[in-house]
Amino acid sequence: MRQDITQNPNCVYNAFILNYSPKFPLTELTMQFLSYPQPDKNLYETDYDAWLAAQINGLQQGDIAALDIPHLIEELEGLSKSNERELESYLIRLLAHLLKWEYQPSMRSGSWEASITNSRDRIERLLDDQKSLRSRVGEFLPNAYKSAIKWATKETKLRTDLFPPSCPYSVEQLLDESWLPLG
C-alpha cells in the first residue's frame, strides 16, 4: 500500500507544500515526484558548485531523488529575477542617455551616443537570449524611466520637472538603433 507522503518527514512534498503556488495544480504525477526522499540540503549551503553539479547530473540522469527541488525552484526564480533586473538596468542607462541627448543638445558627445548604442546592443542580446522578455519591455519602462530621470537630473543639473512625467519614448523607438530624439 502507498505511504501517505504528507506523513513522510524525508520527502520533498513537506518542504514544497510550504511554498506551494496554486498556479500549478498538484497532480498525481507531481505527488509521486514529491514523494522521493530529499537530497542532502547541506550541500547547497556549504558548496554551491558541488550542489549545482549534483543537480545537473540528477537532471541529466533523470534521477528525481537526487534533486533538491525547493532550492532548484529558488534558483530558477532568482535567475528569472536576475534577467529582469538586467533588462531594467540597461533600460535605465539607455533612457538616461536619451534624455540627456534630447534635453542638452549642446552637450552631445560621442560617449553619449556610444552608451546609447551599447545599451541597445545589450538589450537586444538579452532579448534574443530571453525571448519571453521581449513582450514585457513596456512593463519595465515606468520604473526604469523614474530612475533614468534621477540619473539625468544629477548629470545635467536640470530640474526634474523639465522632464515628462512618464516615458515619452515608445518601446519601438528605444529598440530602434537608428532612432535618437530630437532636441
pLDDT per residue, tens digit, the chain (183 aa), is 334 444 444 444 444 554 555 555 556 555 555 555 555 668 899 999 999 999 999 999 999 988 999 999 999 999 889 999 999 999 999 999 999 999 999 999 999 999 999 999 999 999 999 999 999 999 999 999 999 999 999 999 999 999 999 999 999 999 999 999 997
Q: Which of helix, strand or coil describes residue 130?
A: coil
How many whole angstroms separate alpha carbon 49 and alpha carbon 36?
Answer: 23
Q: Is 11 helix (H, G, I), strand (E, B) or coil?
A: strand
Closest residue by Cα to residue 34 from 76, 70, 77: 70
pTM of the model: 0.70
C-alpha cell at 60: 541529466
